[in-house]
Structure 1
Amino acid sequence: MRTVTEQSIDERAAGDPGGRRRRRGLVVSLIAVLLAVLLVGHRAVPNVHGLGSLVDSATPLLGLGVPVLGLAALLRRSRRALLAVLLPAVVWVALYGGVWLPSAAGAGPASFRVASQNLRSGNPDPAATVGALAAADVDLIGLQEVDDDRVDAVLRQRYPHRAAVSTVALWSRWPIRDSVGVDTGLGWDRALRAVVAAPQGDLVVYVVHLGSARAGHTATRDETLAALAAAVRADQASRLVLLGDLNTAPTDRVFVPLTRLLRDAQADAGQGFGFTWPAELPVTRPDHVLYRGLTPTTAGVLRTPDSDHRAVTAGFRW
């Protein structure tokens, strides 16, 4: 036979759903904390079979989990869970909120403008793609996956100077004094280095297409990026621009060797993440304009027809 005290405790427990509400909010709270930890420590994820690189590249998109968790907390009517969701929200804003602020890049007009575009092998109308780049009134165009003579036919009148190695090429309004292939360890050159005789002085331009990366298969990309970083490190040019599809996002840990040598035009003079791939609904940025010895004035993304990548553009002042 139960005592009166035991009976009253049982009755209160049966009539008070607070414990159940706390348990319902607990799952959302735990996920929110784990999301915040992943945002802060994504580079601690082991890079086994490219897993770490994949998580690094996707980190900016993890912010999409915040409104989902917030909605779940509301549906569960859990104030504790709502407070927990604030943690990843604050972390994401601290890490990436600044990319949406107006650029603090150098004021004034650009001395020259550049564009980089992966044309896509087998592009049904590469002439339309490069026509959109030419219409953007840039001075230098770096292209990857060039495999069609129609490209040169469209560009040669406005850009009479050209350098090419395998499937990468540079078109310039100004004379190209020298160009050589750059070995990135693929067994064949898929990068070039050119010296452009710009009106203000010589400018070294790299056009690069690094090794491909797929889920679970990033070793080739990683090796080519390391080789490219070594080539740039050995280059004595004081003014240098690198245009290309590097098959990696700027948040990827393997990108660090390049960021130690060159600056990112999108980060310094653009607004937003500058995603370029896939073109229809871009969720990452494998296409880059990197530089040193110059002042960026603008940077952005250009939608072009018939390619699976959007183009990247940037303006610079000497």
Structure 2
Amino acid sequence: MTERVIDEPTADEPSPPRGRRGLGVGLLAVLLAAVLAGHRAVPNVHGFGSLLDSATPLLGLGVPLLALAALLRRSRWALAAVLVPAVVWAALYGGDWIPPAAGAGPAAVRVASQNLRSGNPDPAATVDALAGSGADLIALQEVDDDGRIDAALGARYPHRATVSTVALWSRWPIRDSTGVDTGLGWTRALRAVVAAPDGDLVVYVVHLGSARAGHTATRDETLAALAATVRDDHAPRLVVLGDLNTATTDRVFVPLTRLLHDAQTDAGQGFGFTWPSTVPVTRPDHVLYRGLTPTSAGVLRTPESDHRAVTAGFRW
């Protein structure tokens, strides 16, 4: 019988090179940092850049995954490399999780905005939750011709403005309202002047064009049209409420952010994601403003809608 001899490594033989251990993890960490820092430099071909912009806050989830991979590879330098995207993400979005300094004093006006979902089986339950938040103004999108909303809100909000599938319900008189053309081919936005106790407040209720992967042109055009309308509106106090079908991190949002402030950024905590309502991963719903001081901002989960509602409080 022939014995099988297994060669044992000797002390003189070189061990596997440690310098390459964790190389892939380190390269992925550098790539993640580059995408986080330069996502707006990615060409917006077929809306891909826009989609990447909107998803960028979620890329922070890659940091703990890469850190775990570095630990499993027992690579110190790979773990150090993971610190780079961690620092970049924290610089970009860490401030969103710090309790806001704004907010001193009671709110003079409280607003809420909700995409009801067309075909909502119980819109009364949805809007009742909005009224329960204490809002003075309720903006609705995807409103069907349904008397159940009237029955739920009419007694508490006696003033209403409606254009197509968007509506504004108010505790205070509405002096004037008109449809706003955003280039959709049909009117899906309105402008109202609300006679609030401390003075007139101009309120836009907006539902911009839809965006799908590879198809964002209509949304982009409607957002540009809204920005142009707001730019020409010289009202000293103004809020925009609605489903704008994009996140504030999207590059196409810049024309609006140059004109208006974001209540969630200034007075909220966290990203304030609203869609889908079960496990939200982005924020197409917004409260934008100028000429006011935000006291609070947040998100409200309501029944029967595929969006969560957005809320905010302001003082003059």
TM-score range relative to shorter protein: over 0.9
Kindly tell me: are residues 56 and 13 of structure 1, through their superposed partners in 2, closer, same or farther at Cα, counting changes over 3 Å?
A: farther
C-alpha deviations, 1:127-173, integer Å up to 9, x for none? 10000001111100000000022112211100000000000000000
Cα shift at 1:106: 3.6
- Identity of paired residues, percent? 82
Partner Cα separation in structure 2 for residue 110 and residue 67 of structure 1: 39
Query: Is 1:165 matched up with 2:127?
Result: no
Q: Which residues of 2 match residues 118-157 of structure 1 at below 5 A?
A: 118-147=115-144, 148-157=146-155
Partner Cα separation in structure 2 for residue 117 and residue 209 of structure 1: 10
- Counterpart AA for 1:264: D
Query: Is 1:109 matched up with 2:106?
Result: yes
Cα shift at 1:15: 3.4
Partner Cα separation in structure 1 for residue 127 and residue 11 of structure 2: 74
Cα shift at 1:13: 8.0
Partner Cα separation in structure 2 for residue 166 and residue 136 of structure 1: 25
Partner Cα separation in structure 2 for residue 15 and residue 198 of structure 1: 80
Q: Which residues of 2 match residues 280-299 of structure 1 at below 5 A?
A: 280-299=278-297
Match of 1:177 in 2: 175
- Counterpart AA for 2:211: A
Corresponding residue to 1:270 among 252, 268, 271? 268
C-alpha deviations, 1:6-44, integer Å up to 9, x for none? xxxx97784312x1x332311000000000010000000
- Counterpart AA for 2:264: Q
C-alpha deviations, 1:93-149, integer Å up to 9, x for none? 111111111111140110110000000001111110000001111100000000022
C-alpha deviations, 1:156-212, integer Å up to 9, x for none? 100000000000000000000100000000001100000001111111000000000
Partner Cα separation in structure 2 for residue 152 and residue 220 of structure 1: 32
Match of 1:5 in 2: none
Partner Cα separation in structure 1 for residue 289 and residue 21 of structure 2: 51
- Counterpart AA for 2:130: L
Q: Which residues of 2 match residues 51-130 of structure 1 at below 5 A?
A: 51-130=48-127
C-alpha deviations, 1:203-235, integer Å up to 9, x for none? 100000000000000000000000000000000
Cα shift at 1:247: 0.2
Match of 2:206 in 1: 208
Corresponding residue to 1:221 among 197, 219, 222? 219
Partner Cα separation in structure 2 for residue 267 and residue 145 of structure 1: 25
Match of 2:14 in 1: 15
- Counterpart AA for 1:111: A
Q: Which runs of 5+ in 2 are unaligned?
A: 1-8
Residues paired across the two proteins, number:
307
Partner Cα separation in structure 1 for residue 74 and residue 289 of structure 2: 50
Partner Cα separation in structure 2 for residue 11 and residue 261 of structure 1: 71
Query: Is 1:50 matched up with 2:47?
Result: yes
Partner Cα separation in structure 2 for residue 201 and residue 222 of structure 1: 33
C-alpha deviations, 1:232-261, integer Å up to 9, x for none? 000010000110000000100000000000
Partner Cα separation in structure 2 for residue 260 and residue 278 of structure 1: 27
Partner Cα separation in structure 1 for residue 95 and residue 33 of structure 2: 18
Match of 2:197 in 1: 199
RMSD: 1.2
Partner Cα separation in structure 2 for residue 67 and residue 13 of structure 1: 38
Secondary structure class of the residue paired with 1:15: coil
Greater share of helix residues, 1 or 2?
1
TM-score when scaled to structure 1?
0.95
Q: Which runs of 5+ in 1 are unaligned?
A: 1-9
Match of 2:4 in 1: none
- Counterpart AA for 2:293: T
Partner Cα separation in structure 1 for residue 62 and residue 171 of structure 2: 46
